Amino acid sequence: MSDQSEAERRKISSSLGGRISKGAGLSHNLDPLEHLAKNMYWTWNRRIRRIFESVDHAAWDGLGHNPVLLLQHMSKTRLEELARDSSFATILMEAHEEQRKYLHETEGTWFERNYGVLQKKSLVAYFSAEFGFAECFKIYSGGLGILSGDHLKSASDLGIPLVGIGLFYKRGYFSQGVDQSGWQTESYPENNPQELPCEPVIGGDSNEPFIISVPIEERQVRIRAWKVSIGRASLYLLDSNLPGLNSREDCEITAELYGGDHDTRIKQEIILGFGGAILLRALGISPTIFHMNEGHAAFVTLERIRELVEDKGISFSEARNITKQGNIFTTHTPVPAGIDVFQQDMVTRYLSWYCKKTGISNQELLDLGRDGGSHGFNMAILAIRLSREVNAVSNLHREVAAKLWAHLLSGEHTKKEPTREIECVTNGIHIPSWVSDEMADIYDEYLCPIWIERTNEEEMWSKANSIPSQVLWNARTGARAGLVDFVRSRYSLAGYHAQSSSILDPNALTIGFARRFATYKRANLILADKERLSKLLRDSSHPVQFVFAGKAHPRDHEAKLLIQQLVHFARSEASYGKVVFIPDYDISLARKLVSGVDVWLNNPRRPHEACGTSGMKIVPNGVLNLSILDGWWAEAYSPECGWAIGSGSELHSHHDQDRVDSDSLYKILENEVIPEFYERENGLPRKWIERVKRSIATLSPKFNTRRMLVEYSKRFYFREDGILAGRLNKGEFGADLLEHVSTSWDDQS
């Protein structure tokens, strides 16, 4: 794992480029390295990842775990050494063969076994504004993007025919620093596609980029695409940065993730939704199901309708009824403030062309995204109204979402709207991507040789209870020490502390808090009673330490104040070396934290956490959850597997809620967590270890994306009506059947 922040990685990359010949070229027997580098399968395949580490460990870390950059920066001398190394050649060929079998021998996949008859007829298109699948590919900001990346990885593992659609951000999300005052600073390193594991989508027999046009206002914006191979799945990223074809303003549309104003945001979402559907059609890719991950992609529903209206000559209403059967919408937002709502005049200005092509009025278009007397165009409402299925991402979130959209779902707004329910598919994590190598090696030995292909099976995970306690504790102790070394190295490199070697204690109970810094997540709850906290920190017989990380949105002043408050406390005499804030939270740092801490702290203000997948990532790593009963933990918690802060109460006063929850947090730390960690028998905290085993055995099979994708497949993706809608959209049936199905679906709704 990398010990460098993003700024440090760029500095190292620059220095490497100065001392070695870039692009030295690979000999024939090293050709497999390029094949391995171009497919993101390496992000969850230990054998392949270890090969890149062995090529040049320092460069691998220094270049941000980017195999493409690694190969570009290899010296001729090192390449010659590898070419002469027969043992390396053997390992390389074995890894290449393993990848080849994974990619091409699909007969044994879960999808083929269960839906083989549909294999040539089914395809899911998964739309998301961000994808987080590797730290070197910075087109993600947080949990939504990480979930999207894990979704594609598990679809690949299961053999589900799925293609992802997103945006290629020139600057992606920001890199974070902290200045002397403790204030967050931002910088925006650029994503260079020539230095990333992606390839341009080429048109026909030419070597020229494949270009599509997306209408915005009365002009055509030209878009190119980049293809990322994620195992068996493909991800297409749309890019407006085409100088000479687009104006400077239009080149900047896809420049930055979650940057700019509402004008920028609506143009990005037009490109994602309309452009994504246009690209797939231009490439001859015909999905049967369109899955929108949050409302950012909701415009895809309108483009699907337009296609049928213009190509089949049917009415807007008929096309709406047909395409609706193939649309799925996943909402992640439990509060109205987190949903994109655009001004009506902005929508009509940018989409006036759409009304002309489909024969509807501006009023009819706006009504698709409005609820009752609201004055804005709500992207979540558009997605809900034009989707067959709508799902929340935890059981509690389903209750919250049902209340949030009660008026819309009940059909009271208009007689044309059916009474509907929001379903629930609780999120998960892609365990092979998040489990540490050390824990994965233990599972290889004590679960079964192919445990990684059975991560949703309870019987298989039950074997975790038989892992020897000493083996498990040695792994946990090593992971904690590794995290301490990592933090010390990071602080030393950044010059944050003159005595970095005294930061943290490799034997102390280590509590981690890392996530997006939004005010409702209450990163500063532990500071509610600083004297009580300081007493815990001063106890030399039962030492406790805290590691914090996370980014605040550049325009979220209140969240930045939370970071500053934590940094000031960490720098104070009372907590020096025992509380740290690590800047520039990313996938690499997340892996270190979810495997290296002992306890994962999560204290959002209930019920504002839709799911909260970071707490799932710690489970297979042998870490325990200490969390508010919100999101996934409200359904996952049991006293044998972790701890619950509070009783699930929801007080009207934020002040009272914070007081009650912070008091509960302190009591659990003082009376349960800390004593249990330090209660030793022959050097082992046996009660603690048993709790870890039960957490692994009970929670791992439920809260993973393999289970999640199986659930999506059975309940939503491969239902007959959705498949039929997709085939209709491809024109596989005549006009008579088209009319019959359209009418019957209309009657059902």
For 630-645, how does the pLDDT look when each residue is reduced to its tens digit (9 = 90+)? Answer: 999 999 999 999 999 9
Strand segments (E) across 168-323: 175-178, 184-187, 199-200, 212-216, 219-230, 233-239, 289-293
Q: Cα dihedral sign for 255, 257, 258, 263?
A: positive
**Is the pLDDT reported for residue 75 higher than 70?**
yes
H or E, element range at 731: none
Do 239 and 362 lie in a common domain? yes
**Is the pLDDT reported for residue 9 higher than 50?**
no
Q: For residues 310-323, give the mean pLDDT.
A: 94
| Among 422, 375, 379, 409, residue whose Cα is nearest residue 610 | 422
Q: For residues 599-626, give the mean pLDDT.
A: 97
Do 45 and 189 lie in a common domain? no
Under 8 Å CB-to-CB from 184, ≥6 apart: which residues?
176, 177, 178, 551, 552, 560, 563, 564, 583
**Is the pLDDT reported for residue 738 higher than 70?**
no
Q: Does residue 85 fall inside a structural domain? A: yes
pLDDT at 730: 55
Of 70, 104, 138, the one marking the end of a domain is 104
Helix or strand or coil: residue 120?
Answer: coil
- Give the Å distances, CA to CA, from 460 to 44, 361, 428, 444, 446: 20, 57, 18, 12, 10
Indicate the average pLDDT of the chain.
Answer: 90
Q: Does residue 469 fall inside a structural domain? A: yes
pLDDT at 733: 47
pTM of the model: 0.93
- As given in the structure block, the two tokens for residue 92 are 């390389």
Do 16 and 66 lie in a common domain? yes
- As given in the structure block, the two tokens for residue 209 are 């980029």
Q: For residues 200-204, give the mean pLDDT.
A: 88
Domain that holds residue 37: 6-104
Provide the residue count of the chain: 749
Cα 81 to Cα 77: distance, rounded to the nearest angstrom: 6
Helices (H) and strands (E) counted in the chain, each on its own, are 35, 20
654 pLDDT band, cuts 50/70/90, is very high
Under 8 Å CB-to-CB from 130, ≥6 apart: which residues?
139, 140, 141, 144, 145, 148, 166, 173, 257
Q: Does residue 666 fall inside a structural domain? A: yes
**Is the pLDDT reported for residue 460 higher than 50?**
yes
Q: What is the pLDDT of residues 232-289, one digit of tens each?
A: 999 999 999 999 999 999 999 999 999 889 999 999 999 999 999 999 999 999 999 9
H or E, element range at 609: none
Q: What is the pLDDT of residues 116-138, one digit of tens each?
A: 877 778 999 999 999 999 999 99
Do 42 and 98 lie in a common domain? yes
Mean pLDDT is lowest, of 593-602, 643-652, 722-731, for 722-731
Task: Please give the single-letter amino acid code of residue 464.
Answer: A
Do 439 and 411 lie in a common domain? no
Q: Does residue 117 fall inside a structural domain? A: no
Contact criterion met (CB below 8 Å) for 556 and 516: no
Q: Does residue 710 fall inside a structural domain? A: no
More confident of the two residues 338 and 175? 175
pLDDT at 23: 46
Q: Give the DSSP per-residue string, 613-635.
A: THHHHTGGGT-EEEEES-TTHHH
Do 604 and 662 lie in a common domain? yes
Cα 516 to Cα 523: distance, rounded to the nearest angstrom: 9
Do 156 and 296 lie in a common domain? yes
Task: Please give the single-letter amino acid code of residue 394.
Answer: S
Burial label, 498 (beta-carbon count in 10 A; 0-12, 13-18, 19+): exposed
CATH number at residue 616: 3.40.50.2000
Number of structural domains (the chain) is 3
- As given in the structure block, the two tokens for residue 275 are 């452009």
Strand segments (E) across 478-628: 509-514, 544-549, 579-582, 599-602, 624-628
Do 23 and 57 lie in a common domain? yes
For residue 234, list its beta bridge partners.
163, 229
DSSP state of 415: T
Do 421 and 438 lie in a common domain? no
Mean pLDDT is lowest, of 365-379, 460-474, 509-523, for 365-379
155 pLDDT band, cuts 50/70/90, is very high
Do 541 and 592 lie in a common domain? yes
| Among 549, 535, 546, residue whose Cα is nearest residue 504 | 546
- Give the Å distances, CA to CA, from 527 to 187, 219, 503, 532, 534: 29, 53, 20, 9, 9
Q: What is the pLDDT of residues 482-533, one digit of tens each?
A: 999 999 998 876 655 556 778 999 999 999 999 999 999 999 999 999 999 9
Do 84 and 222 lie in a common domain? no
Q: Does residue 329 fall inside a structural domain? A: yes
159 pLDDT band, cuts 50/70/90, is very high
Do 359 and 471 lie in a common domain? no
Q: Does residue 696 fall inside a structural domain? A: yes
Percent of the chain with pLDDT strictly greater than 90: 82
Q: Does residue 212 fall inside a structural domain? A: yes
Contact criterion met (CB below 8 Å) for 488 and 501: yes
